[in-house]
Copies of this chain bind each other. A is one copy, B any other.
Amino acid sequence: MRQPSVSPENKGIRECARLVLRYFRDLGCESSLVETSGNPIVYGRCDAGASKTIVVYTMYDTMPAEEKGWKVDPFAGALLEQPPFGRCLVARGASNTKGELRGFLNACESIKATGQKLPVNLLLVAEGEEEVGSPSLPEFVKDHTKELAEADAVFFPACDQEAGGEVGHWLGVKGIVYLELELDGANWDKGPKEFGIHGSLKSVVDNPVWRMVQALATMTGPDGNKVLVKDLFRYAAEPDKDDMMLLERLEKTWTPKREQELKDAYKINSFVNGVTGVEMLKRDMFTPTLNIDGMWGGYTGEGTKTLLPHKVTVKMDVRLVPRMKSEAVLPLIRKHLDSRGFQEIRIRQMECYDWSRTSYKHPAAQAVLKAYREMGVVHCDR
C-alpha cells in the first residue's frame, strides 16, 4: 500500500508492478511482466503438481485518495482501532484490493512455510488497469487463451465481510458499459463553439446544458429509476429457480440490523421505491441500471458568474445482467437519442465488459463455501 499505484493518475504503476512481480517470484512462481498497450500485467505460474489449476485474478492498481476524512496518510497506512472490527489496516488499497492480493499471497506462503505444497496450481494474473476499466486485459487473455482456458476456475480474492462477521461470496458480476455524452456548440451548429459567453445572451443563443438536460430526461421516468431507452433492458434475465432459492436462504440471514448497517455505511436513508429486505437484495443483484456518474457544464465555482456554457459533459454507466449484450448498449442509446432529434449529442464508449456468473453448484464455489464453514464464519450465498 505504501507503493502508490494510482491508475487513473498513472502514478507508481510500474514500480508497483515490479513489486508484485517480486512477490510472485518469492512464492516460487515462474513470473514475468507481460507488456500490453497499457499497464503491464504481472503473470505468475505456480505449478504445484496438483490436479486442479485455478486462475487467481487480481489487480495492483487503486483509485486516487482524494476523499476528505482520511484518518491516516492513505499512502502510508496505519493500523487503527476500527470498531466493531478491532485493529484494521487503513490505507488506500487495504481493500479493493492490494490488501487481499497480499493476504492471498500470505496464505500461500504460510502453506509453503509449514512444509506443505499448494493444493492447486496457480495462474496469478495481476492487472494494473482495473480502476480504469481493464482496457488491456482482453489483449492478455487473447494471448494466453489456451493456458487460461485449461484452468478449472477463476478466483478473485476480494474482501467482503460485514460488521457482524458475515462473509459474502459473490457468484457473478454485472457487466458495464461506461459512456461519455458530450454536447458543445462546435458539433451542434448552435450555442457557443469555443468558450462560454455572457449569460445575458441566452435570449439569442442556444444553451447546450438545457439541451442535454432535455435529452437525458427522455431516458428515464421522473424518478430517474425507470429506464425508457427502448430495448436497452429487453433481454435482461430474471432470477432463475436457483437464484430464487439462494435469495430465500439469504433472506434468513438478512436481518434489519444488517440492512441498517448497510444504510449507515453508505449514508442512505432509504432504497429505491422504498424496497427493503430480500426485495432490495434481489433488485441489487438482478437489475440492470442506467446511472449518471457525473455531469458538468458552465460555471461551477462560488457566487454568481453569469455564463452561457459552450459545452456539457455527462458520464454514464449501464450495468448489465445475464443475457444482455454489452455491444448493444451504445447503439441503443444512440438510436434513442437520434429518434428524438438529439443527433448532435456525441457518445463515446470508454469502458465495456460483459457480465459473468457461476452456479453455486460449481465445485469451485462449493470449495469456497466449505472453506468458510471450516473457518466457522457466518456465510451468505450471493
Contacts and interface: CB of A to CB of B under 8 A. Distances in A.
A291 B220 contact: no
A26 interface: no
A373 interface: no
Contact of A294 (B216, B221, B309): B309
Interface string A279-294: 0100111010111111
A163 interface: no
A294 B207 CA distance: 10
B292 A213 contact: yes
A195 interface: yes
A220 B202 CA distance: 13
Interface string A187-204: 001111111010111111
Nearest to A96: B198
Interface size, A (range): 35 or more
B214 A220 contact: yes
Nearest to A188: B269
A301 interface: yes
Contacts of A133: 303-304
Interface stretch (A46-54, A86-94, A312-320, A361-369): A312-320
A295 interface: yes
Interface stretch (A117-125, A147-155, A270-278): A270-278
Given A203-B283, A205-B271, A292-B207, A197 B266 contact: yes
29 contacts: A131-B305, A132-B303, A185-B268, A190-B269, A195-B267, A199-B317, A201-B266, A201-B284, A202-B319, A203-B285, A203-B289, A204-B283, A205-B272, A206-B225, A209-B224, A210-B225, A213-B224, A214-B220, A291-B306, A291-B308, A292-B309, A293-B299, A293-B307, A295-B297, A296-B296, A298-B315, A300-B315, A304-B351, A305-B315
